[in-house]
Amino acid sequence: MTKGRILLSQFGPFFGLFLVVALFATSLAVKDIADHRSADSSTWSQAARASHYDGLKAFLGVTNVKTVLLQSVIVAIGALGMTMVIVSGGIDLSAGSAVALTSVLAATFLVKGWPPAAAFAFTLLAGGLIGLINGTLIASLRMMPFIVTLGMMGVCRGLAKWVAGNQTVNTPEGSKISDLMMTDDLDHLFPLPPGVWLTLGLGVLLALLMRQTVFGRYVFAIGSNEEASRLSGIRVPLQKVIIYALAGMFFACSGLMQMARLAQGDPSGAVGLELDIIAAVVIGGASLSGGTGSVLGSLIGALVIQTLRNGSSLMNWPTFTQEIIIGAVIILAVGLDRWRQARAAR
């Protein structure tokens, strides 16, 4: 590939985000004008001059950007873990349930009066353990990741309900935990809520891990050609166990953010979150057959999904149309990406 093409494939997801933002900005501007027009029954151009563009301003405004960033955190952190798994040619369907389970665990630890640091550390370990079991089963029994993690999805969901006693676990009153995902000042972009910084920090860490370390090269190698990797001396089973365990810790981190956001551990929450996470990674340019994918792309993918939700909401579309549109955009984004890659390969 030429340098230009590498650049193009690197920034592909950005085009997607730009497209979504531009689409909504245009629709909102048109809607603002139309609203104005119906009020004064003037012509389009008169209405365009007179409109205040409240909807457009709300969409591009600092408050909204901050809100979207905050709303993306849970999917984005999960997408980081999932990027590793998908690049290695696997998949983890237990992500959503793992988020629910770890959010319940974290809340339970806090209710028991553990110091927050200990509660967080053990929650991360629990997430790692879930991933460790996934990885071990997949690597040692050579089972399909799809099946193993599908099973684990049910196991985690059930465990979450069990641990929580079929109820939501409320964090102790006056706990500072909500501050992680809360913002006092919506009028200025900074200071960003801690959850957003955490996402960016984890993103940088993972990017370094994937790009600069031997482990990271192995992840790409296994995803590109597992058999060749094995023959060239990579200990594929061990690598897989590490990949899934690390991913589990990322999901636990998502779970912590979920708990902070709801101020409770919710055993029936985060249903279908794994699909949002996988969609983010795929929109970000990863291939479900392994070998390609990027950290930055996945973060942008998470932003694309959340921008779609947020934009639909600002457009006043009912929830069911949002679901249809997000589904369609996922297909479209991946379709465009394949087309782009096919052209690049020629």
Partner 1 sequence: MKPLRILLIACALSIVTPHAAESYRIAVIPKGTTHEFWKSVNAGAFKARDELAAQGIKVEVIWKGPLKEDDRDQQIQTVENFVTRKVSGICLAPLDSQALVRPVTSAIRAKVPVLIFDSGLKSDNYVSYVSTDNYKGGVLAAGHLGKIMGGKGNVILLRYAVGSASTEEREAGFLDTLKKDFPAIKLISSDQYAGPTRETGYQASQNLLNRFARDVQGIFCPNENSTVGMTKALRDRGLAGGKVKMMGFDAGSQSVTDLKSGDVQGLVVQSPIFMGYKSVMTMVEHLQGKKVEKRIDTGVALVTPENMDEPANKDLLNPPFEKYLK
Cα-based distances in Å from 107 to 10, 199, 248: 39, 21, 18
Query: Using the rule CB under 8 A, is 32 a contact of partner 1?
Result: yes
Query: Using the rule CB under 8 A, is 274 a contact of partner 1?
Result: no
CB-wise, 49 or 343, nearer to partner 1?
A: 49
Query: Using the rule CB under 8 A, is 48 a contact of partner 1?
Result: yes
Identify the sign of the CA torsion 133, 136, 142, 146.
positive
CB-wise, 246 or 308, nearer to partner 1?
A: 308
Report the nearest approach of partner 1 to the CB of residue 30 (Å).
6
Which of the residues 174 through 193 are near partner 1 (CB under 8 A)? 178, 181-184, 186-187
Report the nearest approach of partner 1 to the CB of residue 109 (Å).
17
Query: Using the rule CB under 8 A, is 313 a contact of partner 1?
Result: yes
CB-wise, 10 or 321, nearer to partner 1?
A: 321
Give kind and range of the element (H or E) at residue 169. Answer: strand 169-170
Buried b / exposed e along 306-333 (16+ C-beta atoms within 10 A) = bbbbbbbebbeeeeeebeebbeebbeeb
Is 244 strand, coil or helix?
helix
Query: Using the rule CB under 8 A, is 261 a contact of partner 1?
Result: yes
Cβ–Cβ under 8 Å, residues 33 and 47: yes
Nearest to residue 277, comparing CAs of 19, 134, 94, 20? 94
Nearest to residue 127, comparing CAs of 146, 104, 154? 104
Query: Using the rule CB under 8 A, is 71 a contact of partner 1?
Result: yes
Report the nearest approach of partner 1 to the CB of residue 282 (Å).
21
Report the nearest approach of partner 1 to the CB of residue 340 (Å).
23
Report the nearest approach of partner 1 to the CB of residue 274 (Å).
14
Which of the residues 106 through 135 are near partner 1 (CB under 8 A)? none
